[in-house]
Structure 1
Amino acid sequence: MERMVLDFGRMYQERNEALQEVARAHHDALLRLSRAAEYRDDDTGVHIVRIGYLAWALALRLGQRRPYAALLRKAAPMHDIGKIGVPDGVLKKPGSFTPEERAVMNQHPAIGAEILGRSRIPLFQLAAEVALSHHERWDGTGYPSRLAGEAIPLSGRIVAVVDFFDALTMDRCYRPAFSDARAIEMLRAERGAAFDPRVVDCFLDNIADMIELRDSVTRNRLDFEDLTQDVPLRIVPRDAH
């Protein structure tokens, strides 16, 4: 009987290890797909890594617990994975979209959620939630579902803010980077319209640390493999639970 119990315990451990390995492989494959989508708009791919760390730090500053923040750090970089299904003629177009082009562009959250969804693994459930909700607006005029206020998942509200700021302060194929000061002004102008006022206020209250964290990720050349661990950076999030 003792031998049977030991064999059962070993089999259970091996099963869990195999499931964890499958989840790691799935996560790696989806991150690589996210990077492929990002390369079409950013030839360094570092934007998605910064989004992971900025979302992590902002979640902690908002009082979220460490396990949630760590999960968001890994999920947030997949927010725009749906862009893999958007034609270059739309994705890279300078200037305004036609109504038809806007309709095509607005499909990418649903495409991303479809790629990431249909999983019982919490990481991919959160990633699908982020992909689907990060273009919703606080005032209810966003897409794809026109959610408003706290009906928008917190994960989407956090990623929307950090994505907006980081994207503005980097060069794009269709425009040069804005200065940090200009990006702060633009973010503040959207407080209560596009973005949750509490999330914006928390980000701006910690703006020096957020900028240093962003620059640390770039300076240390962190890659998406680093998102699975707490890489020692100079900025240590405060008020973490």
Structure 2
Amino acid sequence: MVTNNNTHPSLNGAKLHLGDPGPLFQAEGGFFELCVRLSTNMQFHEPDVALHLRRVAKYVELLAEALGRPAEDVQLLKVASVFHDVGMAEVPTAIVSKNGPLTPEEAEIVRRHTEIGHQMLSESGVPMLEVAAMLALTHHEYVNGKGYPHQLVGLEIPLGGRILAVADVFDALTTRRPYKEPYPIDVAVDIINGMSGKQFDAEVVVALQQRVDLLRDVDGLPSRTLVNLSSSALAEGMKVDVRQTFAISARDMNKGELFASGGYFSCPFCKQMHPQGTTFCSLKQMPLREIHQLSGQVINEKYLLQRAAGAGGMASVYESLHMLTNRRVALKLLDPDVARNPSDVTRFLEEGRVFATVGHPNLVEVLDIDQTPEGVPFMVMEYLVGEDLADFIEAECPISEVAAASVLVEVLRTLTAVHGAGIVHRDLKPENIFLTQDRQRLKILDFGISLVRDSHHQRPRLTKAGTFMGTPEYMSPEQAYGLDSIDHRSDLFTMGEILYELVTGWQTFTAETTMAVMMAVANVRYVHPATRLPGLSSEMVAVILRSLRADKEARYQTTQEFIDDLMPILERDFPYQPGVLLGLHERGAKSNSVS
């Protein structure tokens, strides 16, 4: 355990006796600016580090003044604070700027910067640098003893370290970093207040609340409270309260401070944060109900719901943490309103059985099926990192014929197993096809409206004839007519629609209204693919046209027939490797979604 025997008196609350500090510490320029420049040069691989140091120094000054420290102590702490992260010079740039959670090994490398900085500064013999050395060592200690590097508790942490801890985190929360967007000031204060008495000294947190209006006036801070709005929101001139909508970084989501504060939830529609009680997502124009506001809650004493990954008509999916094993999982929770309908509960449970029964590597793995104490069913699935095909299409399409054929063959291989088990998906669409982060493999999600038949093609039906099930743009003609005779060839028609979109960049069936789209599907009215994209090969056009025939007896009858026609296209450049996608380069990642 490190003691404070070598701590400068100013850090433990005693008055500093260095005589008159003179203009050296008091001036904004001169010695202070020299220190900023020296520290900046030592941390050259961190962007905007000079601005960060000036802001943190100002926050330290304001907080120390609010705590009643003598003027000479305040100025000493202010100058010394600019050296608090000099140890980061030894942390690789790739870790400093990493977009996403750090691995345990990377986190350990970052933690070492406190001791490295202390070692660099402590042997100078200069009083100010001795103070800087102790600040470097202690500003990541928590008052509850769970910080680093020495797990100091409460007043064992020098006052300067406790002040700097709040100032440093406040700046981290309210500024743009390589791995996050800035949070609004009020949100940052809420987060820090939620950690009062745990991570932060309660008196310093009170000082922050007292000086928050002065903190707002620090140079550059107002511009850092803005959030990114969707292009559609900007185009429509929507007014969005920045405190009502802001993004959470992957690192902060894993830490859980926002959820621990109890004031915010992760929105499944815009993927940003709203204050608890918000009933409407202004970015996506969607109503928000209780099931959409569960981030931060614990299910069955073992699943901590964190980021909302998506929501559909029947269920919502949360990126979650299994608290006993520390494993990240995706938890799909049936909407409590839907759970009142026994047939919907049966359909939800059947989806889990489908994944378990078929057991194909391209199907998401179901780890558990259970229910809450209130009787609401939920499903625990493997956690996937990547993007759904819908986002890929929006960003990348049209894509090469080889890449499109690669995606289709992998989905068709999976459907071979699914259809072989007597199951018709009925809601295949890009949102239900998930690409892994390296874009080398895919997973099929969501069998929520699948149709399961026994050997006699009979079973108790969960939907009535004439009921429309599916997504209009990806329905088959028989689905659009609401016919009872839906079989596996309906899925193959949908695969033709997805293939059309991959190679042309256009949805197959487009119209102004949902009903008009369904009429176009029912009558199989679409623009010829070669018209959408002149230069398509005759082989690709032939595959698309056959898959989209109105008469299901004339389209592909099996997945293998479909695959056989795609293989010559797929193997134009490289031999086919089952399970591996071709022609899709790696892109940024996001987490599981649900239609």
Matched, 1:117 2:152: no
Q: Could you tell me which amino acid in structure 1 is paired with residue 105 of structure 2?
A: E
Distance across 1 between alignment mates of 2:194 and 2:136: 24
Distance across 2 between alignment mates of 1:157 and 1:190: 13
1:125-204 to structure 2, matched below 5 A, reads 125-204=130-209
Partner of 2:215: 210
1:99-118 to structure 2, matched below 5 A, reads 99-118=104-123
Candidates 44, 56, 60, aligned match of 1:51: 56
Distance across 2 between alignment mates of 1:168 and 1:114: 28
Following TM superposition, the consecutive aligned residue runs of length 4 or more in structure 1 with deviations greater than 4 angstroms are 25-30, 216-219
Q: Could you say what secondary structure the match of 1:146 adopts?
A: coil
Q: Could you tell me which amino acid in structure 2 is paired with residue 215 of structure 1?
A: D
Mapped contact 2:144–2:199 kept (Cα < 8 A): yes
Mapped contact 1:33–1:81 kept (Cα < 8 A): no
TM-score, normalised relative to structure 2: 0.31
- The alpha-carbon deviation at position 40 of structure 1 amounts to 2.7
Matched, 1:66 2:68: no
1:8-47 to structure 2, matched below 5 A, reads 31-43=36-48, 45-47=50-52
- The alpha-carbon deviation at position 32 of structure 1 amounts to 2.9
Q: Could you say what secondary structure the match of 2:192 adopts?
A: helix
Distance across 2 between alignment mates of 1:205 and 1:110: 32
Distance across 2 between alignment mates of 1:29 and 1:202: 29
RMSD of aligned Cα (Å): 2.3
Looking at both structures, which has the greater relative contact order when contacts are Cα pairs under 8 Å and sequence separation is at least 6?
1
- The alpha-carbon deviation at position 167 of structure 1 amounts to 1.5
Q: Could you tell me which amino acid in structure 1 is paired with residue 184 of structure 2?
A: S
Distance across 1 between alignment mates of 2:94 and 2:183: 23
Distance 1:118 1:203, change over 3 A: same
Q: Could you say what secondary structure the match of 1:45 adopts?
A: helix
- The alpha-carbon deviation at position 120 of structure 1 amounts to 2.2
- The alpha-carbon deviation at position 31 of structure 1 amounts to 3.6
Partner of 2:352: none
Distance across 2 between alignment mates of 1:29 and 1:216: 21
Matched, 1:83 2:93: no
Gaps of 5+ in 1: 1-19, 220-241
Distance across 2 between alignment mates of 1:181 and 1:37: 32
Distance across 2 between alignment mates of 1:176 and 1:123: 34
Distance across 1 between alignment mates of 2:34 and 2:121: 11
- The alpha-carbon deviation at position 136 of structure 1 amounts to 0.4
Q: Could you tell me which amino acid in structure 1 is paired with residue 59 of structure 2?
A: L
Partner of 2:345: none
Distance 1:38 1:190, change over 3 A: farther
Distance 1:174 1:39, change over 3 A: farther
Mapped contact 2:40–2:49 kept (Cα < 8 A): no
- Give deviations 1:35-63, integer Å, cap 9, x for gaps: 13555333362110111121112111101
Q: Could you tell me which amino acid in structure 2 is paired with residue 162 of structure 1?
A: A
Distance across 1 between alignment mates of 2:132 and 2:49: 22
The answer to which structure has the higher helix fraction is 1
203-212 vs 151-160, which moves further = 203-212
> Which protein has the larger Cα radius of gyration, Structure 1 or Structure 2?
2
Partner of 1:11: none
Distance across 2 between alignment mates of 1:44 and 1:120: 26
- The alpha-carbon deviation at position 122 of structure 1 amounts to 1.2
Mapped contact 2:143–2:199 kept (Cα < 8 A): yes
- The alpha-carbon deviation at position 217 of structure 1 amounts to 8.7
Distance 1:29 1:67, change over 3 A: closer
Distance 1:80 1:195, change over 3 A: same
Partner of 1:232: none
TM-score, normalised relative to structure 1: 0.74
Mapped contact 2:122–2:130 kept (Cα < 8 A): yes
Number of aligned residues: 195
Candidates 82, 95, 108, aligned match of 2:100: 95
Q: Could you tell me which amino acid in structure 2 is paired with residue 132 of structure 1?
A: L
Q: Could you say what secondary structure the match of 1:131 adopts?
A: helix
Distance 1:217 1:52, change over 3 A: farther
152-161 vs 39-48, which moves further = 39-48
Q: Could you say what secondary structure the match of 1:215 adopts?
A: coil
Gaps of 5+ in 2: 1-23, 25-29, 224-595
The answer to which structure has the higher strand fraction is 2
Distance 1:125 1:46, change over 3 A: same
Identity over aligned pairs, percent = 34
